[in-house]
Amino acid sequence: MAVRTEDLDFGVRRIVIARPQARNAIDDEVRRRLENELDCAVADSGVRAVVLAGEGAHFSVGGDITFLQTLDRAGFMAFHRDALALVRKLASFPKPMIASVRGACAGGSVGFALCADYLVASRTAYFGVQFMRIGLTPDMGVLYLLHQRLGKAARRLILDDRLVRAEEAASLGLCDKLVEDDALESECVELASRLGALAPKAFRQTKWLFRRTEGEFERFLNDEMTAAADCLGSSEFIEGTRAFFDKRAPRFPAL
């Protein structure tokens, strides 16, 4: 079961990426099931808010590198295109959404979390946007969404190619609320239930207005695909993923 759901009190539904054996890495099945569960949550009038979480110790480590290595360039581009459709769906989700982050939140899953209305992190959380070490450009709207949150600090975070621990993430504004690990679920459900009690049409229209102020997002996602096309399946990607599995520093040739 790549994704599971559970309905809680006050109309809150938890949508959980459920691949703990792979640290909730995102493959095509996860993408499809997440998209389906989001559609179901929109259509169900009993669902007033959603908590997006990962099973076990981690939110998600991002794209499943083992899966990505099986794709040729055309397959990779198709997966990227479909994953960006999921990002659009997350960003335009009409009901309140809380991202519940513990452990790793890395790669494209950072984009998933940043699409939520609130990002609540536990003190075990850490964030990684280390795309270039595997020969890729930032994807899933991460660069745009980080810049919206952090301004020029987003540039340093991406180019520094390092992990950001929970306390620093809170001080930067990367997460909206920092809580103890054992309080994460209850805090997220309480916040979701509070937002879910607001007038649903007014909430939906307010989110629409926020998106209108971020009108460049669609153009950016198209540009992201163009930039990624030069990297997906390239020799840099092959060397970066080999180094990842070998647990060594990649050796990229100079241009």
Which of 63-77, 141-155, 229-243 shows the lowest mean pLDDT across its residues?
229-243
d(CA 11, CA 221): 32
> What CATH number does residue 77 fall under?
3.90.226.10
The tokens describing 227, both together, are 């930039």
Instruction: Tell me what the pLDDT averaged over the chain comes to.
Output: 92
Residue 42, domain member (yes or no): yes
Q: Which residue has the tokens 């960006």?
A: 84
Q: What is the pLDDT of residues 35-50, one digit of tens each?
A: 999 999 999 999 999 9
Residue 74, domain member (yes or no): yes
Number of compact structural domains in the chain: 1
Residue 7, domain member (yes or no): yes
Q: What is the pLDDT of residues 85-134, one digit of tens each?
A: 999 999 999 999 999 999 999 999 999 999 999 999 999 999 999 888 88
Residue 114, domain member (yes or no): yes
pTM, two decimal places: 0.89
Residue 233 clears pLDDT 90, i.e. is over it = no
Domain span at residue 137 reads 3-182
Sheet of 97-101, strands arranged across: 3-7, 12-17, 49-54, 97-101, 118-122, 177-179
d(CA 196, CA 79): 32
d(CA 17, CA 10): 22
Residue 63 near residue 111 (C-beta atoms within 8 A) = no
**CB-count burial class (<10 Å; 0-12, 13-18, 19+) for 98:** buried
Predicted local confidence at residue 93, as pLDDT: 96
Residue 55, domain member (yes or no): yes
β 177-179/118-122 pair status: parallel
Residue 215 clears pLDDT 70, i.e. is over it = no
The residue type of 254 is A
